Structures are given as structure tokens and as C-alpha cells.
């Protein structure tokens, strides 16, 4: 009986030490549990805004005549005003989800049509006049 109790004590001790060691490995400030400051988070958010990334919500963007908006993979674009044409990648068009078609370079984009950029391969739109678009996802303006 004493051997069984001693064995259980040893097993429980080893388990407790293992749990303690695992908890110590992810202590606050360690690589497993990093601590960041508010200024760091603010700088990361500002960097995202400056690189043309719209998070989970749509962002209104003004384009002037002749500007191109090139979308990243999964970017959604809605032309709200003005005139614009599609820019394809040389092989495949921009997905016009509303119209159910692929728009090739030079084809007009309908107002309020939802466009989807499937890959980060140079697809987007060209503003023929001043235009306002709503965009969700990454993009560049050229």
C-alpha cells in the first residue's frame, strides 16, 4: 500500500512540474505570449491604411480621370459614380458578380456592380472620369 501511495505521489509531482514548466514557457512578454504597446498597434493600423488595405468594411475611394485601381487577391470593388473600364490580366477578366460576366480590358463597368478580383495579378479598373468606388481588400492606385 505504501508503494502505491508513493507511486501516486511521484506521478502527481511529475505532472505538476510538467504543467508548471509549460506555463512558465509562455509567461507574459515571452515569445509565446508577447506584450505589445498601444503605440505599436496604432502604427500597424496606420501602416495598413497607407498601403491601401481596407479591412472588413468597405472604404470609399476617389479616383481621378486616368487613374488605375489594381486589386489584390479577393478584393471587392463597387463603382458608385463616374465611368470606368475593366483591366484584365491578359488572359482572364475581372469578375462582375452582379452581371455574371468576366469583364475584359476596355469593357465598361456598370454602376453599383460588384467586382471581384480573384488573384493578385494586375486586374482592376481604369477611371475614364472622376469616379468614386467602394473597396474592400488590398489595392494600389496608379
Class of domain 47-141: mainly beta
Distance CA 22, CA 10 (A): 18
Give 81-121 pLDDT, tens digit per residue: 999 999 998 888 899 999 889 999 999 999 999 999 988 88
Q: Percentage of residues in the chain with pLDDT exceeding 70?
A: 76
Whether pTM > 0.75 for this model: the answer is: no
Q: Which three cell numbers stand for residue 119?
A: 488573384
Q: Which three cell numbers stand for residue 138?
A: 488590398
Amino acid at each position: 500500500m505504501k508503494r502505491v501511495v508513493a507511486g501516486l505521489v511521484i506521478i502527481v509531482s511529475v505532472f505538476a512540474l510538467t504543467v508548471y514548466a509549460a506555463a512558465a514557457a509562455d509567461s507574459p512578454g515571452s515569445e509565446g505570449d508577447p506584450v505589445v504597446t498601444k503605440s505599436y498597434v496604432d502604427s500597424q493600423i496606420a501602416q495598413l491604411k497607407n498601403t491601401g488595405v481596407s479591412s472588413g468594411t468597405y472604404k470609399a475611394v476617389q479616383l481621378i480621370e486616368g487613374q488605375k485601381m489594381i486589386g489584390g487577391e479577393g478584393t471587392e470593388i463597387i463603382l458608385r459614380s463616374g465611368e470606368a473600364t475593366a483591366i484584365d490580366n491578359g488572359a482572364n477578366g475581372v469578375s462582375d458578380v452582379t452581371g455574371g460576366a468576366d469583364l475584359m480590358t476596355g469593357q465598361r463597368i456598370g454602376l453599383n456592380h460588384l467586382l471581384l478580383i480573384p488573384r493578385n495579378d494586375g486586374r482592376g479598373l481604369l477611371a475614364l472620369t472622376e469616379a468614386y468606388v467602394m473597396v474592400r481588400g488590398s489595392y494600389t492606385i496608379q
